[in-house]
Structure 1
Amino acid sequence: MQVELSVQDCCPQNSSIQPETWEIWFRQWLDLLKPELDGAPLHPQENYELSLRLTDDREIQSLNQNYRHKDQPTDVLAFASLEVDCPQIDELETEPLYLGDIVISVETAERQAAPHNLETELAWLAAHGLLHLLGWDHPDDASLLRMLDQQQILLNAVGLDAKR
């Protein structure tokens, strides 16, 4: 499986996760999740592309206001490309499937990292964002619990423990 990942880190002094580590994690997560669409593999050649931006509360608050009409910082936002443009079959055969963008506020992650550490919190939020890119949602408590359980599975797969 190939994962092309663009990592933009506006706060490198706060986050110590290297781009190579992110690539390994996302590759393992996508391999574990085996994304499907209507029972068929989402991408026949299993080549995926996504963007990860690590930012601060000011920038994520602006994005949250513009896209969700909530004028407050949040921990993670996911902008799924599959919600907007469904790729054509012939495009899937030759190009990596662009899943979308994940934006994480490192400042908010630092505040939330108390039960574990910043690296684990950032991975937790990235896994949450990836699930959203793949169509997971949590409109009610039952679906939120399923999503949180899946996040735990993803973190365990890369050797992290984030019991919530």
Structure 2
Amino acid sequence: MSVTMDWSNEQEAVEIPEAWGQRLERLLELAARAEGIEDGEVAVTFVDDARIHELNREYRGIDRPTDVLSFAMQEDGEDELGIIYEVEDEADELPVSEPLGDIIISVETAVRQAEDYGHSLERELGFLFVHGFLHLIGYDHQDAEAEAVMTAKQEAVLQQAGLTRE
């Protein structure tokens, strides 16, 4: 098995070339390998600020847009629903990648941040994707020490992929 990714573009402001999807797949491969993850599936959706604002308000209680949201499938919170796979006949069973979760990225915010930081939109989207992936597998940045760990991991993956700050 392997770590796989599906992506969709639900915003219209910026064209997301197929090559960028391939770049995200490479980032996923590098990040998963660095974390020892050999199997899983990640879904990535590109949205606008209005949509990520809705999601941020609904799921985090924060009434403003953000750059990236991650929804891990492996969390066992009180409000999380378990996923049950039913198989009628074991002969029909197919190998299924365990879903790791969903990453939602606001392209509008990514454009602004890329301009603010002086690097490419592709690099910013890559950064947000790796950041979201690390959240899916349990990393967080609630304090300075945890943020430093995440930042170092993100930068290492981006460097390996050639997405350096310009």
TM range (shorter): 0.7 to 0.9
CA distance in 1, matches of 2:161, 2:142: 27
Superposed, 1:44-123 pairs within 5 Å as 46-84=38-76, 85=82, 94-114=95-115, 115-123=118-126
CA distance in 1, matches of 2:46, 2:155: 21
- Runs of at least 5 residues in structure 1 that lack an aligned partner in the other structure: 36-45, 88-92
**Displacement of 1:86 after TM fit?**
8.7
- Whether the 8 Å contact between 1:3 and 1:27 is mirrored in structure 2 is yes
- Whether the 8 Å contact between 1:155 and 1:162 is mirrored in structure 2 is no
**Residue in 2 aligned with 1:9?**
9
1:49 is paired with a residue whose SS is strand
CA distance in 2, matches of 1:78, 1:99: 10
Q: Which has the higher contact order (CA 8 A, sep 6+)?
A: 2
Residues 1:150 and 1:110: Cα distance change in structure 2 (over 3 Å): same
Which amino acid in the other structure matches residue 31 of structure 1? Answer: R
Can you list the C-alpha shifts for 1:63-98, whole angstroms capped at 9, x where unaligned? Answer: 0000000110000000001113599xxxxx942121
Residues 1:86 and 1:155: Cα distance change in structure 2 (over 3 Å): farther
**Residue in 1 aligned with 2:34?**
32
CA distance in 2, matches of 1:75, 1:95: 30
**Displacement of 1:27 after TM fit?**
1.6
Could you state the TM-score of these two structures normalised by the residue count of structure 1? 0.82
**Displacement of 1:12 after TM fit?**
5.8
- Whether the 8 Å contact between 2:13 and 2:108 is mirrored in structure 1 is no
Number of aligned residue pairs: give it. Answer: 149
- Runs of at least 5 residues in structure 2 that lack an aligned partner in the other structure: 77-81, 85-93
Structure of higher CA gyration radius = 2
**Range that drifts further, 66-75 or 9-18:** 9-18
Could you state the TM-score of these two structures normalised by the residue count of structure 2? 0.81
**Displacement of 1:154 after TM fit?**
1.1
**Displacement of 1:32 after TM fit?**
2.0
Can you list the C-alpha shifts for 1:115-163, whole angstroms capped at 9, x where unaligned? Answer: 2110000000000000000100111111111111111011112111138
Greater strand percent: which structure? 1
**Range that drifts further, 65-74 or 140-149:** 140-149
- Whether the 8 Å contact between 2:123 and 2:164 is mirrored in structure 1 is yes
